[in-house]
Every structure is written in structure tokens, then in C-alpha cells.
């Protein structure tokens, strides 16, 4: 028996359309693509304690003092490429050009 609303129309099903059939859509499970893993980062620790981060053979960042020590501790404990990408700010690839060209950002 169908459930009716006050106006006499059938009540809508609260589930997403297609959920029970598995037909899915752009946001269904298994179709979302993940971002690629960062690559091409290297770091060099110099004698004076300075750490130079490079990305594809170009200097990306220079860390000194306490920041260099924190970076070295973190890079030893985690995924080095991801840590270096976060410390250089180069971990958001994909939509920068699109966002820069958006009329709101001009």
C-alpha cells in the first residue's frame, strides 16, 4: 500500500534514485577517481642545518631552524613525497588554472 501525503499524492522515497538497482551515477561508489600521488620531490640537508626542498630539480622551498627540524622528523615518519608536497604547498594539483581563470577570481 502506498503512503499518501496531505495533498493525496504518493510520498517520495527518501532513498536516492537508483540506489536499490545499483545503476549509480557520477557519485556512486567505485567511480570516484583519487588524486595522483605526489612525485618528483627531493630534499637536501646542508651542513648549516638548512633543508632545501626541490621539485623536478627546481628549488621549491628552503627551511631553516625549527621548521627544518620539524620537517626532518616528519619526513622520516611518513610518506616522504607527500610530506614534501605539503611543506612546499604543491599538493593541490588539478584545478588551479580553472580557478584562476574563473570570473570571480579575476
Q: What is the pLDDT of residue 82?
A: 87
pLDDT by residue for the chain (106 residues), tens only, comes to 667 777 777 777 655 554 444 455 555 555 566 767 778 899 999 999 999 999 889 899 999 999 999 999 999 998 899 899 889 886 555 555 566 677 776 6
Q: Where are the domains of the chain?
A: 41-89
Could you tell me the strand order of the sheet in which 51-55 lies? 41-45, 51-55, 58-63
Q: What is the pLDDT of residue 31?
A: 59
Amino acid at each position: 500500500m502506498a503512503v499518501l501525503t496531505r495533498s493525496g499524492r504518493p510520498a517520495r522515497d527518501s532513498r536516492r534514485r537508483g540506489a536499490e538497482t545499483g545503476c549509480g551515477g557520477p557519485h556512486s561508489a567505485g567511480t570516484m577517481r583519487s588524486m595522483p600521488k605526489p612525485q618528483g620531490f627531493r630534499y637536501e640537508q646542508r651542513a648549516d642545518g638548512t633543508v632545501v626542498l626541490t621539485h623536478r630539480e627546481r628549488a621549491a622551498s628552503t627551511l631553516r631552524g625549527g621548521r627544518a627540524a620539524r620537517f626532518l622528523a616528519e619526513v622520516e615518519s611518513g610518506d616522504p613525497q607527500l610530506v614534501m608536497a605539503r611543506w612546499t604547498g604543491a599538493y593541490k594539483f588539478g584545478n588551479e588554472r580553472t580557478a584562476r581563470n574563473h570570473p570571480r577570481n579575476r
